[in-house]
Structure 1
Amino acid sequence: MTQPAPSGSPAARMSRGASWLARIAVFLGIACVGLGALGGALLYLAPMTILTRSLDLPPQVHAVYGTLRMGGADLPQGYTLTWSTRPGLRPWPGFGGTLRLEGSDTRLVGDLRLYPREIGIAAVSGRAGPGLAQLVPGAWRCGMTARVDEVTLLKAGGATRADGRVTLPAGTCAKGARDVELPEQNLIFSTEDNTAAGRLDAGGDRPLAYFQIDGAGRAILSILEAAADIYPALPKNGPLTLEYSF
């Protein structure tokens, strides 16, 4: 039968030391978890004006309000971007919720995902009116309303994902004093080899352009020669390939 070491022996002192080290480790672990939860709660409930104070927001954002949990942004011409989120695991802690972009001619609703390994929008659907395009400097003036169906754009780790479709009906657009008749166009998103991709076509069977966005933030846009028949400002010696980072 093994006898316990005397209380003053080196073995007993080492045992007590190991016990205290284990308790300290557990305490530090609990403290770290608590501080992490507290930090997440502070971030979740902090006013957006504080979180965005050091950010260079686009000029289209007139004001931000609320918190990451529930807030919004005021845009020109009465458009508003609002969100509501809740904490979640995917598998790391983060936030997921609902994103809305609304105005007199626009209503888009989808999922918002803000996780360490996944960030972006998913299943966005609704309508995007012609006034929304005017928020982009230099945009053509058009009278058509686009239909958005289940559009997903996500960055997941080193990969990107895309899905869904945007349909723009035929109509007239103006650039300066010039009017241009445009056919129906479709922007179809997909995922190819862990890379977000898209195809723009006219009438469903006439490709106009292709693009890809990879996980490193590099975008490649290929404009085909057929696009110049619809958009006179484009060069007629296509294809034209543009590459840029964002």
Structure 2
Amino acid sequence: MQSNETPLLGHTLKGGPAVVMQSAATRKERTGVVGHKDLTDIAAGDQGMTAVETNLPGKRINTESVAGQVVGKCTEDVPMEKTPTADIRVDDKITIGEALEVSALTAGEKPVDQSDAAAIQAAEVSTTHSNVIIPGGVAAMAQSAANVNARMGSNEDKTKLADILTDANTKLPGDKPVTRQDAEGVMVAELRNNPNLATHPGGVGASVVAAARINQRNK
């Protein structure tokens, strides 16, 4: 029994079946009832002494048997293994608000004109699905800036894209990932309102188109 118990538990269990049986065997050997090398039919047969370990969540149960009869059971608490948590997937698509913020960085010093205002309005419409300009919204601010800038001579005093589009994500009534349709609408609006039928490098249209291309690749 001790040869089964020790490998399982790592030590002989104090007061356990192996100790009790060893003590009884020693007493019988001293009184001459059994010899040191005597074997019983049980010990020599198939139904000998066994020690079985059963693992349960937070528990380990060690059961010792003789001839199929349980003679001892020991229960130990064991640390629960933490179940690995799945990584939380964060949507990596660029939103319209984020694309507008990019243009504030790449073309922030550009004075706002009608082509910019039209492009920004198209971007806002994509998030609201309404052609109504929201009072105090980013499109209304851009249109007001374009009107004022048109009457000013010096570019230094004009309202710049960065003044309108910095933190654009918080100025929009809503936001959504940029799609190809959104980009086309913004680009067309900027082109139609530019006398040269061109878009500004790094401007509103270019930034939204770039975001749409990235989102398309990340599908």
- Specify which structure has the higher proportion of strand: 1
Q: Same fold (TM over 0.5)?
A: no
Bigger-Rg structure (1/2): 2
- Specify which structure has the higher proportion of helix: 2
The two structures have a TM-score, normalised by structure 1, of 0.24
